[in-house]
Amino acid sequence: MKDDPNRRMRLLAEISTARGCGFAGLAILCLMVGLSANIATTLKAGGYSALLVMTVLLLMAQRAPAKPFRQTEVWLMLEEAERPPEPLAQRLLSGVRRAAFLRFAAYHAVAAATMLTAGFVVGLLRGI
């Protein structure tokens, strides 16, 4: 059985996107630690920040087909032998990058919904 030729591109797109999301997550964590005196505010700030990251990822997914493939991190991470032929590269790379952006946007949407719900519940319980 032949290995999927796009597997390596998908993996590199995931790594590239995960790296960026990791730095965003670190910034969100620092914000939340700074606001940790009030748990409801901490959770709401984390939730809204995750929504912001999700929005940026959705915008990046929308613009992925327009970004020249030679300017992407995935293209730079690929070895010469792994790179697709140039006539196909734009379509293939934009597709795998778009899929990675959408996947991580979904993760951030779930995180945002969880934190915002918890923040509003804690806020309601403290108000009682």
| Residue 85 identity | P
Band the pLDDT of 1: cuts 50, 70, 90: very low
Q: Do the domain assignments include residue 1?
A: no
In a domain, 98, yes or no: yes
On whether the CB atoms of residues 40 and 126 are closer than 8 A, the answer is yes
Average pLDDT of span 32-50 = 96
Number of domains in the chain: 1
Inside any domain, residue 128: no
Length of the chain: 128
Average pLDDT taken over every residue of the chain: 93
pLDDT value of position 2: 57
How far apart CA 26 and CA 18 sit, in angstroms, is 12
Domain that holds residue 84: 7-123
Q: Kindly state the average pLDDT of the residues 119-127.
A: 92
Domain contains 17 = yes
pLDDT band at residue 128 under the 50/70/90 scheme: low
CB-based contact 35:67 (threshold 8 Å)? no
Mean pLDDT of 106-114: 98
- Residue 6: pLDDT band with limits 50, 70, 90: confident
Per-residue pLDDT, averaged over 9-13, amounts to 95
Helix intervals (H) in 35-80: 39-63, 73-77
83 phi and psi angles, rounded to 5 deg: -70, 135
